[in-house]
Structure 1
Amino acid sequence: MTKDESALVGLEIVAYAGDARSHLMKALEAAKNGDYAEAEVSIKQADEAISHAHATQTSMIQAEARGESAEFGFIMVHGQDHLMTTMLLRDMMQHMIELYRRTN
């Protein structure tokens, strides 16, 4: 895989992770307003986007495991960073939404 191809994959991961992050923030806002049904819908949408990003990431890992060479640049690193922080954000939002639910 060339550096340009790797960059495109990195951008795909960034896009999915960014969508997930937006859904997570929407979920938190819904929970703050007491709309837990909407919060759950947004969490599920975030999970779908994270799943797509993770599948893209996994394809890269599998290619490397098969011995295919790949050049990685900053965009791929950024994509990985974006995905990992979004996954952490998802866990934190789940806890925060539960706290809102318990206090209301």
Structure 2
Amino acid sequence: MVNVEKLSETAMHIITYAGLAKSYYMQGLMYYKEGNTEAALKLIQEGEDEFIRAHHAHGETLTNEMSTSDPQISLLMAHAEDQLMSAETIKIMVMELIDVYKEKRGNKGE
């Protein structure tokens, strides 16, 4: 039997970690745009660390669900998965935009 309280708690962790990841990625892009490459890359790494935490929590939940015969889909978990995927999308877009800024600067931003 799935523990709904535990599932909700895990979903909230995923939402929190993914939200932090998105914020770090966007802040990193802003710093990069301003020419502060060191701060930008540090923030992007912090975003990656939070994304990994979210991804691990999600993977653990999936593993636990597979081991039970009572899969549980909740609106909260669906929202958590949406936040996780949007964090990944933002990361990809931020990295692409950083490449554009690099080209625009003639690779002086490294």
Q: TM-score, normalised by structure 2?
A: 0.87
Match of 2:48 in 1: 47
Letter paired with 2:89: L
Written as runs of structure 1 = structure 2, the 5 A alignment for 1:28-47 is 28-47=29-48
CA RMSD, Structure 1 to Structure 2 (Å): 1.3
**Structure 2 alignment gaps of length 5 or more:** 106-110
Alignment check: 8 A CA contact 1:17 1:86 kept: yes
**Structure 1 alignment gaps of length 5 or more:** none
| Counterparts in 2 of 1:5 and 1:70: CA distance versus 1, 3 Å | farther
Percent identity between the aligned chains?
22
TM-superposed deviation, 1:23:
0.2
Runs of 4+ in 1 over 4 A off after TM superposition: none
Match of 2:58 in 1: 57
Bigger relative contact order, structure 1 or 2, given CA contacts below 8 A and separation 6+? 1
Q: TM-score, normalised by structure 1?
A: 0.92
Instruction: Give me the whole-angstrom Cα distance separating, in 2, the residues matched to 1:87 and 1:55.
Output: 14
Alignment check: 8 A CA contact 2:31 2:37 kept: yes
| Counterparts in 2 of 1:9 and 1:43: CA distance versus 1, 3 Å | same
SS in 1 for 2:70: coil
| Counterparts in 2 of 1:93 and 1:35: CA distance versus 1, 3 Å | same
